Structure 1
Amino acid sequence: MTFDRDIIASDDPSASADGVVPAPRASRRSVTLGVSLLVTALLAAVLLVLPAPYAIRAPGPTEDTLGLQGADVAGSGATSSGGKSATAQPVVEIEGAKTYDVTGELRLTTVSVYGGPGGDVLLGDVLWGWGSGERSVQPVESIFPEQTTQEQQQQVGQAQMAGSESSATVAALTELGYEVPATLTVAGVAPGSGADGVVRAGDVIRSLDGHDITTHQDLLADLDDVTPGDDVVLGVDRDGKPKDLTVTTAEGDGRAALGVYLDPSYDYPVDVTIRPGDIGGPSAGTMFALAIITKLTPEDELHGAHVAGTGTMSVDGEVGPIGGIQQKLFGARDAGADWFLAPARNCDEVVGHVPDGLRVVKMSTLDDARAAIEDIGAGKGADLPTCS
């Protein structure tokens, strides 16, 4: 078969004799543009894998303080057949008093931090974090003190957790009417404070302005009656001998402060063991205290409700603010919680950042938190105060 040459011929004067038009030669400008785009893409790819001086906060695992330690840590992928491990132990275990079964959950919440001591985050991770509603990107130094090693950070977290366990236990038992005697030994003195040069490490506090101090709450209650800046007479045992010391107080966190660091030891009327696992920091105190209370009271406060929360706990029942509240909200939602107990002093960070399906209740004291879970269990949670 043959074809008519006129049919396949082109009107293009550059066409070859057989009618085929040759491909145009690339211009210098197009070559330069192509090379520039390629180089830019390569540079962008390299930048995305470079370490960045940031730390990223993300929702961390949650754990039911009424359940078994490590058996159902939501968000960590750690599950066991049947949901429970044969070797798992209660997160909160109580001996020396009758305990009661509780339905529902009281989940502590955590934050996972990427970057900082012992690890870097990549620029690509930072860009992803900036675009995520669940993550927070901050300069490393705003989260971790300079020159802090990973080991030091872990030690601080463990020490904070130990203090949180003690404070939560004292607050919970006191809330239930127990008296928890304490020996308040001075561990150190704040430089420049009224106690500096007056009080010594090793002094044991026995009285304040003539009032006997037998519990930690006694000391805090007496300081509530002192105007910051006034002098007080601190009775101590020093080297086994009583001694009266005049100390000028200062403004503390809502009350007069002595300017001393205490190393308290408690004589618990009930044995409470708390197993936090690998979790560090002070922010689980409120949820530990609630778990102790619910286990020691015959009422089923929760009636099957799933409640998560956070907040530090002082020995006198004050709920304190914490970091990473927004990430903890998402962690609670992912763990299936319907309610979240948030410190009132974190409310400004909560508003506008509550995940769908989660209802937030604000609290300032352990008494607030206890009343909240009782109302939630009774189906009256809609009337509780929120952060809005």
Structure 2
Amino acid sequence: MSRRSGGWIIAVFVGIVIAALMGVIHLPYVIIQPGPVVNTLGNGSGGKPLITVEGKATYPTTGSLDFTTVSVLGGPNNRVNVWEWITGHLDQTNSVEPEDLLFPKGVTSTQVDQQNAAEMADSQQEAIAVALRGLGQTVPEVVIVKELAKDSPAGGVLRAGDILVSIDGTAVTTPDGVRAAVRAHKPGDKAVFTVNRDGKKLVLSVTTADSEGHTVVGVFLQTSFDFPIKVTINAGDVGGPSAGMMFSLAVYDKLTPGALTGGAAIAGTGTINSVGAVGGIGGIQQKLVGAKRGGAIWFLAPAANCKEVVGHVPDGLRVIKVSTFTQARDAVEAIAAKKTASLPTCT
């Protein structure tokens, strides 16, 4: 065997070893990829309608109001290898991020999934409330203590399940209202909570504390609604709160005559709170790609995400920025009426 051929054999062997190592060496990164879209006006998991209503007439509709998703490769229980990390960087539609961006240290993948499922459930309830209120219906709302944080300053005073009535004599009906009332205090001040517990009204004093520059009492909150009709959203195993705005539009469409979209293919993303404010989300650039691949012509994007949108809109997709449910609904109606010249976009 010649010296030259021996060198080639060694080079091939080394290459094979390196390739093998790249497949078994795992890195603490995640790859965020465009995910599938789901038409909120169509069917969800199991082929059943994504949105069903009991107690009020619904109307046939056309077009699509797609909620968008991302796919995540990696995580503490299934880390990406070197090959995947390299190909993730080469695909411009992907985003390669440190693992702890989605999976904070000390939190398991199962715990993240559980949190995402809880956020999805909450977003559905808020979306239904917003849609029904948009139709002029009254939807009473209360804020409940879901759980107390570890070493909570409210420990031994507030309990999970307490219904918050007022703070310092001012009625509170939303989590934002609770946070504002608490943050009106300096850390160490006492805040007076009036709560309903097991059918009894209690007045309790809670000493506030500081957390990253904010005054807190160390509780996690949950909103509960008293709906006049039963609306069910069947989103399957998708998690997180980012489909809230699209759910609210779909419920509104189902409960109003005619097609809200006018038959147009519209996708979007954004959280929704109970007063109809649309919030920013993660993975907006991947969701734009997913929307285009899913056939959308129009995309409703939270105004809070506009900086990430600019320069990353796929050809043939038009983005409309929205900050509230009302703006989103009006934009869809304008698209249906083909009166889109004045619709705001991200610039």
TM-score normalised by structure 1 residue count: 0.78
Q: Is the 8 A contact 2:185 2:191 kept in 1?
A: no
Post-superposition CA distance 1:284-324 (Å, at most 9, x none) = 11111110111122243211111111111111112122111
For 2:11, what is the secondary structure of its paired residue?
A: helix
**Correspondence list, 1:195-210, <5 A:** 195=154, 198-210=157-169
Q: Which stretch shows the higher mean deviation, 348-357 or 172-181?
A: 172-181
Partner of residue 131 from structure 2, selected from 151, 163, 172: 172
For 1:243, what is the secondary structure of its paired residue?
A: strand
Q: Does 1:282 align with 2:282?
A: no
**Correspondence list, 1:296-307, <5 A:** 296-307=255-266
Q: Does 1:334 align with 2:308?
A: no
Q: Does 1:244 align with 2:218?
A: no
Q: Which stretch shows the higher mean deviation, 308-317 or 256-265?
A: 256-265
- Give the Cα–Cα distance (whole angstroms) in 2 for the partners of residues 222 and 153 of structure 1: 25
Instruction: Name the residue aligned to 2:112.
Output: 153
Gaps of 5+ in 1: 1-24, 71-86
Change in Cα spacing, 1:212 to 1:142, as seen in structure 2 (3 Å) is closer
Partner of residue 318 from structure 2, selected from 343, 359, 367: 359
Q: Is the 8 A contact 1:51 1:120 kept in 2?
A: no
For 1:49, what is the secondary structure of its paired residue?
A: helix
Change in Cα spacing, 1:225 to 1:307, as seen in structure 2 (3 Å) is same
For 2:71, what is the secondary structure of its paired residue?
A: strand
Instruction: Name the residue aligned to 2:184.
Output: 228
Change in Cα spacing, 1:228 to 1:334, as seen in structure 2 (3 Å) is same
Q: Is the 8 A contact 1:59 1:112 kept in 2?
A: yes
Change in Cα spacing, 1:111 to 1:98, as seen in structure 2 (3 Å) is same
Change in Cα spacing, 1:111 to 1:359, as seen in structure 2 (3 Å) is same
Instruction: Name the residue aligned to 1:42.
Output: 16
Instruction: Name the residue aligned to 1:83.
Output: none
Instruction: Name the residue aligned to 1:346.
Output: 305
- Give the Cα–Cα distance (whole angstroms) in 2 for the partners of residues 44 and 133 of structure 1: 25
Partner of residue 263 from structure 1, selected from 222, 237, 253: 222
Q: Does 1:181 align with 2:140?
A: yes
Partner of residue 52 from structure 1, selected from 26, 49, 63: 26
For 1:383, what is the secondary structure of its paired residue?
A: coil
For 2:96, what is the secondary structure of its paired residue?
A: strand
For 1:112, what is the secondary structure of its paired residue?
A: strand
For 1:63, what is the secondary structure of its paired residue?
A: strand
Post-superposition CA distance 1:92-144 (Å, at most 9, x none) = 11121222222210001111111114323232222111011111112222221
Aligned partner of 1:64: which letter? N
For 1:355, what is the secondary structure of its paired residue?
A: coil
Q: Does 1:106 align with 2:65?
A: yes
Deviation at 1:179, TM superposition (A): 1.7
Change in Cα spacing, 1:63 to 1:46, as seen in structure 2 (3 Å) is same
- Give the Cα–Cα distance (whole angstroms) in 2 for the partners of residues 186 and 226 of structure 1: 14
Q: Is the 8 A contact 1:206 1:236 kept in 2?
A: yes
Percent same amino acid at aligned positions?
45
Post-superposition CA distance 1:252-272 (Å, at most 9, x none) = 9xx997653223332101210
Q: Is the 8 A contact 2:182 2:217 kept in 1?
A: no
Q: Is the 8 A contact 1:249 1:257 kept in 2?
A: yes
Deviation at 1:183, TM superposition (A): 4.0
Deviation at 1:248, TM superposition (A): 7.1
- Give the Cα–Cα distance (whole angstroms) in 2 for the partners of residues 258 and 310 of structure 1: 32
Aligned-pair Cα RMSD in Å:
3.0
Post-superposition CA distance 1:43-69 (Å, at most 9, x none) = 342244224312211111111000111
Deviation at 1:334, TM superposition (A): 0.5
Post-superposition CA distance 1:161-216 (Å, at most 9, x none) = 11111111122222222221234332334568775665343432223454555xx3
Q: Which stretch shows the higher mean deviation, 239-248 or 366-375?
A: 239-248
Aligned partner of 1:377: which letter? A
Aligned residues: 341
TM-score normalised by structure 2 residue count: 0.86
Aligned partner of 1:68: which letter? N
Aligned partner of 1:383: which letter? S
Gaps of 5+ in 2: none
Aligned partner of 2:19: which letter? A
Instruction: Name the residue aligned to 1:74.
Output: none
